[in-house]
Each structure stands twice: as structure tokens, then as C-alpha cells.
């Protein structure tokens, strides 16, 4: 189980950085001011925060669930 979880955790710093970017980006960047208004940016930012947070917990749960089920119910590869 530890080996599968260890594969997941190197990715988590990138998710954390992305979440911080979504939290800290409050104003429309200069090049996008002509095509994006503040209200649309705020909606997109809140959606992206929810999506990243849900994705993190969903993926972590999936990794743990598959690790536990693999350890509890191993698949035999030997012919009987």
C-alpha cells in the first residue's frame, strides 16, 4: 500500500502550487482585459479551486482504495 501512495504524493506539490495560484489570482491579467471581465474570472477561479480540491481528494481516495483492495484480494498469476 505504501508503494502506491508514494507514487501519488510527488504529484501533490504541483496540485498545491496550482491551488495557490488560483487563490492568489484576483485580477484579470493585462493581456486578457479585452476578452475577460472580472466577474467571469471570479467564476472561473472559484470553479477551478473546487475542481482541483475535489480532484486531489478523489485521486487520493482512489489510490488508497485500489491499494487496500489489492492487498486484501491479491490476483493469482499462477495457472492452477
- Asked if residue 5 is part of any domain, the answer here is yes
Whether residue 47 contacts residue 19, with contact meaning beta carbons closer than 8 Å, is answered with no
Number of structural domains (the chain) is 1
**5 has a pLDDT exceeding 60:** no
- Asked if residue 22 is part of any domain, the answer here is no
Sign, Cα dihedral of 28, 33, 35, 36:
positive
Contacts of 55 (CB under 8 A, 6+ apart): 15
- Asked if residue 53 is part of any domain, the answer here is yes
Domain range for 2 is: 1-13+36-63
Going by pLDDT thresholds of 50, 70 and 90, the confidence category of residue 72 is confident
- How many angstroms separate the CA atoms of 12 and 6, rounded? 10
- Asked if residue 72 is part of any domain, the answer here is no
Average pLDDT, the chain: 83
- Asked if residue 43 is part of any domain, the answer here is yes
User: What are φ and ψ of residue 57, in 5° steps?
Assistant: -70, -35
Amino acid at each position: 500500500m505504501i508503494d502506491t501512495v508514494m507514487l501519488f504524493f510527488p504529484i501533490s506539490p504541483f496540485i498545491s502550487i496550482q491551488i495557490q495560484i488560483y487563490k492568489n489570482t484576483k485580477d484579470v491579467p493585462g493581456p486578457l482585459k479585452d476578452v475577460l471581465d472580472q466577474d467571469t474570472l471570479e467564476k472561473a477561479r472559484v470553479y477551478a479551486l473546487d475542481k482541483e480540491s475535489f480532484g486531489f481528494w478523489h485521486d487520493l481516495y482512489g489510490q488508497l482504495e485500489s491499494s487496500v483492495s489489492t492487498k486484501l484480494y491479491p490476483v493469482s498469476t499462477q495457472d492452477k
